[in-house]
Amino acid sequence: MPLNKPAALLFDLDGTLMDTAMDFFPTVNQLRREHDLPPLADETIREQVSNGGRALTRLALNMEFDQAGFEGKRDRLLEIYCQHVGHASVLFPDMESVLVSCNQHQIPWGIVTNKPRLYTELLLKRLAKKIPVLSSCGVLICPDDVKNTKPDPEPLFLAADKLKVKATDCWYVGDHIRDIDAGKAAEMTTFAAAFGYLEQDDKIEHWQAHHIIGGSHQLNQLLISSLNSELNPDLN
């Protein structure tokens, strides 16, 4: 049965809307160089990008979160990241087509991420110069904006509220189980991005998302199908 046209399309950021991992490769390895450690493979770093700065610091220096000096090392990682953010990041293939389709059909779209606003806004500002459609983002929700971050549904409820749509009429796309858990808790239609930053032992089929998509082209096909369904209700 065709999907209903979404009232809004919301995305996680890293590993879902954008492939931002390339900005983290030099970031993590510069931190390792500063501690006389050899570089890590790009794919090893990629797996941890969705888990945030603390996980990347742990990966870079093989430190646990509660070790003395950990937060200072994390701060240094983020300092280095500011130098690299947006330099190599790109939209995933066909994601620009998804955003263009949203704009053409008056479907607001937005970003709900656990990435702090400082780095998210810097990323969007730098990339919007190369990818103008990013300037049409209708809502941006970061951890700074809420008391409870994903997997709590609070950020998704806030995004829907700001867009003046019902949460239950929104689609949410993410590449981590916390995204799917948050989306389902908000009663949104959820899409698990199998093309994102999954770890080797992730079992995406166990997340119980409403849909699993292997590429953003599939999301675009589902979006177009939902639009056609609205125009031709007899096809339902």
pLDDT in tens, 151-187: 999 999 999 999 999 999 999 999 999 999 999 999 9
Q: What is the pLDDT of residue 234?
A: 53
For the chain, the distance separating the N- and C-terminal CA atoms, rounded to the nearest angstrom, is 6
Given pLDDT bands bounded at 50, 70 and 90, which one contains residue 235? very low
| Residue 181 appears among annotated catalytic residues | no
Q: CB under 8 Å to 134, separation ≥6 — which residues?
A: 99, 124, 127, 128
Q: What is the pLDDT of residue 200?
A: 87
pLDDT in tens, 57-96: 999 999 999 999 999 999 999 999 999 999 999 999 999 9
pLDDT in tens, 99-153: 999 999 999 999 999 999 999 999 999 999 999 999 999 999 999 999 999 999 9
pLDDT in tens, 191-221: 999 999 998 899 999 999 999 999 999 999 9
The catalytic residue among 14, 175, 179, 181 is 14
Q: What is the pLDDT of residue 63?
A: 93
Q: Provide the 3-class DSSP secondary structure of residue 91.
A: strand
pLDDT in tens, 29-45: 999 999 999 999 999 99
What angle separates helix 177-185 from helix 154-163, to the nearest 10 degrees?
A: 60
Cα separation, 135 vs 21, in Å, equals 21
How is domain 8-20+90-235 classified at the architecture level of CATH?
3-Layer(aba) Sandwich (3.40)
The separation between CA 55 and the C-alpha centre of its own chain, rounded to angstroms, equals: 16
Burial class (CB in 10 A: 0-12, 13-18, 19+), 158: middle
Cα separation, 109 vs 14, in Å, equals 16
Q: Is 62 left (phi over 0), alpha (psi -120 to 50) or beta?
A: left
Residue 83 exposure: Cα atoms within 13 Å on the Cβ side: 10
Q: What is the pLDDT of residue 229?
A: 76
| Residue 12 appears among annotated catalytic residues | yes
The catalytic residue among 12, 23, 175, 181 is 12
Q: Answer whether residue 236 shows pLDDT above 60.
A: no
Q: Answer whether residue 233 shows pLDDT above 60.
A: no
